[in-house]
Structure 1
Amino acid sequence: MTRSRKRPRGVTIIDVAKAAGVSPMTVSRVINGDPGVRDEVRGHVREVIAKLNYTPNLMARSLVTSREIRIGVIFANPSAAFMSELLVGVFEEASTRAAQLFLLRGEQDRPPTPDAIRGLIDQRIAGLLLAPPLGESPVVWDMLREAGLPVAVVGGIAPDAVCVGIDNARAAYDMTRHLIALGHRRIGFVHGNPDQSASLDRLSGFRAAVAEGDGLDVRIVQGDYSYASGLRAGEALLDQADPPTAIFASNDDMAAAVVSVAHRRHLDVPGDLTVAGFDDSTAATTLWPPLTTIRQPVRALATTALQLLIQDIRGGPPAATGQPRLTLLDHHLIERDSAAPPRR
């Protein structure tokens, strides 16, 4: 009986990168003649390419030089309003940049399976855009490092990636100081997903603001950015014997849920309870009363991230430093009808 032999696997760019002790992206930049690679690194990589008899995949190289660019977008976020704004921004920008989008969605705030991510990468995409919270997911990054593709992260921090966001700590600080200036002394805070740097920054900003006040009674409860978690947080805060007169939630979905809890308890917003949110999503203006909130320019964040990602794809990213390449956009405090001074 004769056994068939498997066809030997050809040398890949990942094999060259491992042998040379550099990233696949660095190998790609050497192949494409990017001037941003040090001469000694360039020479070493070329020696390894010759030794391994590596032949670049012409189809893959054409991805960065052809008119149309294939970009993968991976997202999984419990806030439908946030994701709607982000995807609108991505689609609008892609339509002006001759970029074809391949979407991959996880469940709630969990990443897609490794097989699903591998399937996306196999679509011959040239770069990836990660929506929060996946820009900080170890599962996602373990696979992306092996692929060696340019990556842009919205609302998160990752080494050697384009990262676009706002100053979350300052934004939360600004809102908290606003509530204190209105006269509130019993203030509740609904924390977002603790696995995300944006959540931790917003909590940090809240704590910094209340630390500057005198005689404040602060209560912090855990949420996860979903409407359901906002309901639970609202119930927990308003069940207290001496409940807060103001509640600041880490996103608009949770803030809208707190307003719902207040209405069920026949509390007037803002007469009996001030509620503030974060994002300025559609949820902020479609409920009654409309929310006082922090405007995070979600659509502009997505647009900017895609612009910078395409720039990396076409021109090659800067040399790896192990640090994020962070771009911060401005936030704004938007005053609406859900906030007022407390009743005396």
Structure 2
Amino acid sequence: MSERRKTSARRQHARVTISDVAREAGVSPMTVSRVINAEVAVRDATREKVEKAIAELGYSPNKAARSLASARQMQIGLLYANPSSTYLSAMLLGVLERARQSDAQVVVVESGFGKDAVAAVRGMLMSGVDGVLLTPPLTGYRPVLEILHDSGVQTVTLGAQHVESEISTVSIDDHRAAMEMTRHLLDLGHERIGFIVGNNNQLASRLRLAGFREAMRLAGVDVDESLVVRGDFSYRSGLKAADLLLRLEQRPTAIFASNDDMAAAVVATAHRFHIEVPEALTVVGYDDTLLATTIWPELTTIRQPIADMSRAAIELLETNIRIDRAGEPVKARHLTRAYKLVRRESSAPPR
């Protein structure tokens, strides 16, 4: 080979990026990053394809940069403003488990909404975190999302957010899950169904309400707007909503609450009104947190794998940080986890 051709080949290899390797191997850049960093969560066949692509393209990561980057412990900021303690517990379980495995440091910051959230995220950025995990209801709060996007810090949201965003997400299909739960109630024979909406600032709330309305429309059942009441995902808001619904002259035969905290509050209110659940009132929830099986009767609910989603969100965030440290472009990914309708003792046909 002539000296000119050798020089050209070296230049060609120097231009090879992690994205080129991903295209050659037919995988994502994140998978290539996992192989390069010797992570265990890669199938052998996939690892072999990536290693073959690296060899054929002559890709050579900057070892000095990788060494310096890997030597520095990742610091991840977790910002939350969720009133549900059961959701928070499940979420933290997954986050801390994954962080312990990867030796990442997690800084947990609680905030309110509005200006408080903006101040909290700015303070987090000033502290020098490598990445941020946003949890509901902040996942749909545009001012915070815009600050994080403009800052360039790697960010992942846990739960639904605007999918056109350039920020990665891990969520379930809230619209489809709410439709399935509503169909379950309709199949039992309920038509007069109450619905308790969650935090209006949260996209998941709107998706669940839309799923409820869509299932009712497809079944040819009109939604009585007096049975759609506002909550904010807290137990206390569930108490207020249930009180409104159960005082109606024509009360619903079933109530679908947008999370388990509010559903548990409905059950408690029904007990106070001497209304038997599920004999005289069906109550269903959403999330399948620990609360769903610690009340009586146990809740029929949508199982959202919160701990698993949290682990996946931290892993995705760590991978994005590594890609960013290597000087490669990071593309947003929107991962969807499976949900499950869990039938328990709180739902039954109407009398």
Normalised to the residue count of structure 2, the TM-score between the two structures is 0.76
Selected match of 2:158 from 131, 154, 170: 154
Please list the CA deviations of residues 203-235 of structure 1 after superposition, one character each: whole Å capped at 9, or x if unmatched: 111011111224556421111111111111111
SS in 2 for 1:289: coil
2:125 counterpart (121, 127, 136): 121
Q: Which runs of 5+ in 1 are unaligned?
A: 1-32, 38-59
- Give how far 1:196 is off: 1.4
Deviations 1:94-124 (A, max 9, x none): 00011011111113x5574544333322332
**Paired AA for residue 76 in structure 1:** A
Match of 2:277 among 266, 269, 276: 269
2:174 counterpart residue number: 168
Counterparts of 1:274 and 1:140 in 2: how far apart (Å)? 38
* Alignment partner of 1:181 is 2:195: no
Higher mean C-alpha deviation, range 98-107 or range 264-273: 98-107
State the distance in 2 between where 1:205 and 1:296 align.
Answer: 16
Question: Contact 1:64–1:313 (CA<8 Å) still a contact in 2?
Answer: no
Q: How does 1:28-47 map to 2 (within 5 A)?
A: 36=19
Q: CA deviation at 1:136?
A: 2.0
- The offset of 1:319, in angstroms, is 4.5
Matching of residue 308 in structure 1 with residue 313 in structure 2: no
CA contact (8 A) 1:111 1:139 kept: no
Letter matched to residue 293 of structure 1: T
**Partner SS state of residue 172, structure 1:** helix
CA displacement at 1:65 relative to structure 2: 3.0
Q: Which amino acid aligns with 1:307?
A: E
Which residue of 1 is the match for residue 248 of structure 2? Answer: 240
Q: Which residue of 2 aligns with 1:327?
A: 335
Match of 1:140 in 2: 144
Percent of residue pairs identical: 44
| Aligned residues between the structures | 286
Matched letter for residue 72 of structure 1:
G
Equivalents in 2 of 1:170, 1:293: separation in Å? 14
Q: TM-score, normalised by structure 1?
A: 0.77
Deviation of 1:66 (Å): 2.1
CA displacement 1:163-221 (0-9 Å, x = unmatched)? 00000001000000001111112111111112211111111110111112245564211
2:68 corresponds to 1:76: no
> Is the Cα contact below 8 Å between 2:111 and 2:120 reproduced in 1?
no
Supply the distance in 2 between the matched residues of 1:277 and 1:271 (Cα, whole angstroms). 17
Q: Write out per-residue CA displacement over residues 55-108 of structure 1, whole angstroms, 9 at most, x where no aligned residue.
A: xxxxx998843252111111110111101100111000000011011111113x
Worse overlay, 132-141 or 189-198: 132-141
For the residues of structure 2 that align with 1:36 and 1:118, how far apart are their CA atoms? 31
- Quick one: which of 294, 299, 309 aligns to 1:291? 299
What is residue 278 of structure 1 aligned with on the other side? Answer: 286
Cα RMSD, aligned residues only: 2.3
More helix by share: 2
Q: Whole-Å Cα distance in 1 between the matches of residues 84 and 168 of structure 2?
A: 23
Question: Are the equivalent residues in 2 in contact too, given 1:81–1:281 (CA < 8 A)?
Answer: yes
Q: Which amino acid in structure 2 is aligned with residue 130 of structure 1?
A: L
- CA 1:127 to 1:307, structure 2 compared with 1: closer, same or farther past 3 Å? same
Secondary structure, counterpart of 2:249 in structure 1: coil
**Structure 1 residue 255, shift from structure 2 partner:** 0.5
Q: Which residue of 2 aligns with 1:99?
A: 104
- 1:240 Cα deviation (Å)? 1.2
1:85 and 2:90 aligned:
yes
Relative distance call for 1:75 and 1:292 in structure 2 (3 A) is: same
Counterpart in 2 of 1:203? 209
